[in-house]
A and B are shown apart, each in its own frame.
Chain A
Amino acid sequence: MQDFGAAFGAAFRLVITLDPDLVEIVGLSLRVSLGAVLAAAVIGLPIGAGLAVARFPGRGVALVALNSLMGLPPVVVGLLVYLALSRAGPLGPLGLLYTPTAMVIAQMILVVPIVAAVSRQTVEDLKDEYDEQLRVLGVGPAGMVATLLWDARYSLLTALLAGFGRAVAEVGAVIIVGGNIAHVTRVMTTAIALETSKGDLALALGLGIILLALAIGVNAAVMGIRRTAGHAAFA
């Protein structure tokens, strides 16, 4: 039990003194995970919206596959990306292994299915409402995807938040492709893993508390954005 007290104490001290290592690690965690979510949005939103709009043979199979990919184990993704980026692998010459870029790539792969699956559902719901009206105005499939994505943008934020939650919380992928190198690729989760393996459980827990606070902060910020959008206008 005293570990919890020590944990809060450790977290408090780190935050109050703006411990430079902590600031660096938090900054990198945010940069990597937010970067991954943005990249995943660019890829996942059109896929989700496209799947919501299009009708083709095998669409059911595609949806099942997409939903299943949401459960991709981070450590497996990390391993696959490592094999691709390793010097012995196909993308070795890019020299991306053990860099934050590799971490963004790995987390992006984890997040795309979530963004695509959730946005598909959101867009499909909106499509049911808009479909006939847009068609009668003469909107084609591409225009429909664009309009649905834009009009659903505040609901789609939820998809992105879900993706961010997954990214910032995972350790399996980033520890393999990043190597948890001090000052280079150490993020919150890998730092927690390291402190745990050093037996410094209070510090590890303290970092965990800070990570939680971070996630809450990001979610609160996004909720704030939604509120200013004016809920009534988007009911």
Chain B
Amino acid sequence: MKRLRLLLFAATLLSPMTNVQAADKFITVQSTTSTQNSGLFEAILPAFTKASGIEVRVVAVGTGQAIKNAANGDGDVLFVHAKPAEEKFVAEGGGVARFDVMYNDFVFVGPKADPARIAGGKEAVPALQTIAAAKAPFASRGDDSGTHKKEKALWKASGIDQAKASGDWYRETGSGMGATLNAAVGMGAYTMSDRATWISFKNKGDFGIVVEGDPILFNQYGVILVNPKKHPHVKVAEGQAFIDWLLSAAGQQAIATYKIDGQQLFYPNAQK
């Protein structure tokens, strides 16, 4: 009797193993923490699954890791926001083709105390120069993500070698957007975030947006099918179906209607 109960118990433990096989219509999408944390996927994916019967499993990591995973073939679709890196990925044969999906923008956020006096600014480069001059604390993703790459480009445009100050006023957290925001709020440091993550972030403390609206802060998202020639196991039909849906009127509409507190987070801009 005891043995039977043990066997049944062991059987229920094996069920995680069997569940995976049962849901065989699914794709794995390598994406970023910013799209995950903003709640976009939770909002739009159910519509796609309903229409196509395909489950979408999102692995949300930093852009650098997402691209590396896709290069290893550990995903069917890549959906990140680092255009130069994405184009390189396709050029090297990792992906089939890249398509614009949506954009939003980056903002600088900072404490109410505003040590560098940049609040209300409309331009990114002068703000960064002021921060560097004041040696005001600045938290960076430091993780080779799309956001991080953008941030580095801005420092370059400002003519500032921020890496020299690493550990001093320039703090590299090596983490996702949420963790970096937690750290920034905790340290009273400025940081750059995509608007979507900021709006949906729940630990703002006394922080607010200090700089926004500069065209240079434009943030483009792209989607790529992982190359089946390199990774024959890629689910081409289902992956392509997802990409087609994202670029279709239905998908673009779903993106546009996703709002938090009445604010739209992502703006669809797929090529017609």
Question: Do chains A and B directly touch (beta carbons under 8 Å) in the complex?
Answer: yes
Quick check: is B182 within 8 A (CB to CB) of the other chain?
A: yes
Quick check: is A95 within 8 A (CB to CB) of the other chain?
A: yes
Q: How far is the CB of B175 from chain A (nearest CB, A)?
A: 8
Bound together, the chains give a CA A92 to CA B69 distance in angstroms of 12
Contact of A199 among B14, B72, B74, B201 (CB under 8 A): B201
A residues within 8 A CB of B116? Answer: none
Given A31-B13, A100-B19: A198 in contact with B201 (beta carbons within 8 A): yes
B residues within 8 A CB of A101? Answer: 16-17, 20
Please encode chain B, from 177 to 218, with 1 for each CB lying within 8 Å of some chain A CB and 0 for all others.
111011000000000000000001111100000000000000
Bound together, the chains give a CA A163 to CA B71 distance in angstroms of 35
Interface residues of B in 151-199 (CB under 8 A from A): 175-179, 181-182
Quick check: is A147 within 8 A (CB to CB) of the other chain?
A: no
Given A196-B178, A197-B37, A198-B37: A181 in contact with B58 (beta carbons within 8 A): yes
Bound together, the chains give a CA A92 to CA B17 distance in angstroms of 17
Interface residues of B in 33-67 (CB under 8 A from A): 33, 36-37, 42, 57-61
Contact of B20 among A31, A87, A93, A99 (CB under 8 A): A99
Q: How far is the CB of A222 from chain B (nearest CB, A)?
A: 14
Bound together, the chains give a CA A198 to CA B179 distance in angstroms of 8
Bound together, the chains give a CA A28 to CA B17 distance in angstroms of 11
Quick check: is A151 within 8 A (CB to CB) of the other chain?
A: no
Given A88-B72, A181-B59: A201 in contact with B20 (beta carbons within 8 A): no
Interface majority SS on B: helix, strand, loop or mixed? helix
B residues within 8 A CB of A28? Answer: 16
Residue pairs across A and B with Cβ atoms less than 8 A apart, 27 shown, are A28-B16, A31-B12, A32-B16, A35-B13, A35-B14, A35-B16, A38-B13, A86-B69, A86-B73, A86-B74, A87-B72, A87-B73, A87-B231, A88-B71, A93-B233, A99-B17, A100-B20, A179-B28, A179-B59, A179-B61, A182-B42, A182-B58, A194-B37, A197-B37, A198-B201, A199-B182, A199-B203
> Is A197 in contact with B28, judged by CB distance below 8 angstroms?
no
Interface residues of B in 46-103 (CB under 8 A from A): 57-61, 69, 71-74
Bound together, the chains give a CA A38 to CA B13 distance in angstroms of 9
Q: How far is the CB of A23 from chain B (nearest CB, A)?
A: 15
Bound together, the chains give a CA A95 to CA B203 distance in angstroms of 38
Please encode chain A, from 185 to 221, with 1 for each CB lying within 8 Å of some chain B CB and 0 for all others.
0000000001011111100000000000000000000
A residues within 8 A CB of B36? Answer: 194
Quick check: is B263 within 8 A (CB to CB) of the other chain?
A: no
Bound together, the chains give a CA A34 to CA B17 distance in angstroms of 13
B residues within 8 A CB of A35? Answer: 13-14, 16
Q: How far is the CB of A35 from chain B (nearest CB, A)?
A: 4
B residues within 8 A CB of A122? Answer: none
> Is A199 in contact with B204, judged by CB distance below 8 angstroms?
yes
Q: Which residues of A contact B (CB under 8 A)?
A: 28, 31-32, 34-35, 38, 86-89, 92-93, 95, 97-101, 104, 179-182, 184, 194, 196-201
> Is B202 in contact with A199, judged by CB distance below 8 angstroms?
yes
15 new A-B contacts at CB < 8 Å, known A31-B15, A100-B16, A199-B178: A31-B12, A35-B16, A87-B74, A88-B72, A89-B72, A98-B57, A99-B17, A104-B17, A179-B28, A179-B60, A197-B176, A198-B200, A198-B202, A199-B181, A199-B202
Bound together, the chains give a CA A217 to CA B179 distance in angstroms of 31
> Is A179 in contact with B57, judged by CB distance below 8 angstroms?
yes
> Is B16 in contact with A197, judged by CB distance below 8 angstroms?
no
Q: Which residues of B contact A (CB under 8 A)?
A: 10, 12-17, 19-20, 28, 33, 36-37, 42, 57-61, 69, 71-74, 175-179, 181-182, 200-204, 231, 233
Q: State the 5 A-B residue pairs at the shortest beta-carbon distance, nearest first.
A: A197-B178, A199-B203, A87-B73, A100-B16, A88-B72
Bound together, the chains give a CA A100 to CA B19 distance in angstroms of 9
> Is B202 in contact with A201, judged by CB distance below 8 angstroms?
yes
Q: How far is the CB of B113 from chain A (nearest CB, A)?
A: 20
B residues within 8 A CB of A95? Answer: 233
A residues within 8 A CB of B231? Answer: 87
B residues within 8 A CB of A93? Answer: 233
Bound together, the chains give a CA A198 to CA B177 distance in angstroms of 9
B residues within 8 A CB of A31? Answer: 12-13, 15-16
Closest to B42 in A: A182
Bound together, the chains give a CA A197 to CA B175 distance in angstroms of 9
Bound together, the chains give a CA A152 to CA B166 distance in angstroms of 55
A residues within 8 A CB of B200? Answer: 198
A residues within 8 A CB of B71? Answer: 88
Q: How far is the CB of B96 from chain A (nearest CB, A)?
A: 16
A residues within 8 A CB of B182? Answer: 196-197, 199
Q: How far is the CB of A177 from chain B (nearest CB, A)?
A: 10
